Amino acid sequence: ENQATEVIVEKSIKGADYRLLCVNGRFVAATERRPASVVGDGHSTIAELIDRENRKPARIDTPTSPLGKIQWDEAMERYLDEQGLSTDSVIEKDRAVFLRKVANLSSGGLSIDATHAVHPDNIILAQDVAQHFRLTCLGIDVIAESLAKSWKSGEFAIIEINAAPGISMHLRPAIGESVDVPSYILETFFESNIDARIPIITFNRISVQDLQETIDHILLQQPDWTIGAVCHEAVFVNRSEKILHRDYNTNVQNLLRNPKLDCLIVEYGEDVLERDGMFYHGSNMVVLDNPSETEMMLTRDIFDDATVVIKEGDNVSIRRKGLIEQYSLGAAEPFTRVHLKEIGTLL
């Protein structure tokens, strides 16, 4: 009798089940989730209605389907029993019977897009909650009368914070418009509109000495850059020589795998082109020194704003932005001076 009695009292909140989704602290989507249910036709049993519902194409139960199959288990049977029903019960026409207490989409629940119906106060609340967590994607589960009503004036309770929320319910809701959540996630990691592709300079022939000179020339302009370069005789990352793989395109692949690479320089002669082809698509600059017919193919795989420098004998042509410049090299004028100048302009 003298022992203290401690009681935990929990308020009962009546309403619908909603998921609010925030990406990088910003509200982006909302979905209403309803438990699995069937609608009577006046002559079919609940078991028959479930079987008919599960045969619908929308419930094919793949990672991209808007609905999952209705799960038949003890929890479902118990909930039907609480309603005075069983799987053998025949329910009247147009009567909806819920099969579960919780709106679990993986058990056959229904997702309805509610993004545009959310009250501004509820958006602010969701974003305030998200600020307390260092998470790219955050799901906030709430019970509410309606998301269209402010949390300040209606029944509203946060019941769970999900640190790894699924996004399929927003991307492919059973009812309503799709919200492109993946784009919001990608924007978080790639904010800049700058093209992520690095500049690529392709030669048909270049010596190790000229390759090193080209690397030095670029580093003089861009001292913080990491430059990958390969010719038939050597592989470099800046001025550090690396192991030359027997398979030529493997060298190109290994350089492109470097996440810090800012520029790539590659020699593609006739032998490699005919045997292996090119590993990448598109060049920002092509430099050809007395090219063969096969090597001239390099000029076809370029970007619209690319520069093409071609030397045939002492004659040099430079094509850039639709204009062609032609002139002859002097007796003591090296071809490297020409393409280094163009590289400087390009970068």
Q: How confident is the model at residue 1 (pLDDT cuts 50, 70, 90)?
A: low
Taking 90 as the threshold, does the pLDDT of residue 322 lie above it? no
The pLDDT assigned to 224 comes to 94
Question: Any residues with CB less than 8 A from the CB of 38 and at least 6 apart, and which?
Answer: 46, 49, 50, 53, 70, 91, 96, 97, 99
HEC profile of 243-257 = CCCCCHHHHHHHHHC
DSSP β-ladder status, 240-242 and 235-237: antiparallel
The pLDDT assigned to 263 comes to 96
d(CA 164, CA 154): 28
**16 to 29, 144, 166, 264: CA distances (angstroms):** 16, 5, 19, 56
- Render pLDDT for 103-137 as a digit per residue (tens, 0 to 9): 888 888 899 999 999 999 999 999 999 999 989 99
- Render pLDDT for 196-230 as a digit per residue (tens, 0 to 9): 789 999 999 999 999 999 999 999 999 999 999 99
- Render pLDDT for 15-63 as a digit per residue (tens, 0 to 9): 999 999 999 999 999 999 999 999 999 999 999 999 999 999 888 877 7
- Render pLDDT for 144-200 as a digit per residue (tens, 0 to 9): 999 999 999 888 999 999 999 999 999 999 999 999 999 999 988 876 677 778 999
| pTM greater than the 0.85 cutoff | no
The pLDDT assigned to 62 comes to 77
The pLDDT assigned to 284 comes to 95
Q: What is the mean pLDDT of residues 249-263?
A: 94
Q: What is the mean pLDDT of residues 265-283?
A: 94
Going from N- to C-terminal start, the domains of the chain cover 16-189, 200-346
- The answer to whether 318 touches 176, Cβ cutoff 8 Å, is no
The pLDDT assigned to 295 comes to 94
CB half-sphere exposure, 244, CA atoms < 13 A: 12
The pLDDT assigned to 11 comes to 84
Q: What is the mean pLDDT of residues 2-22?
A: 88
Q: What is the largest CA-CA distance in the chain?
A: 113
The pLDDT assigned to 13 comes to 86
- Render pLDDT for 88-107 as a digit per residue (tens, 0 to 9): 999 999 999 999 988 888 88
The fourth-level CATH superfamily of domain 16-189 is ATP-grasp fold, B domain (3.30.470.20)
Closest-CA residue to 114 (of 176, 53, 194): 176
Dihedrals phi, psi of 116, to nearest 5 degrees: -85, 0
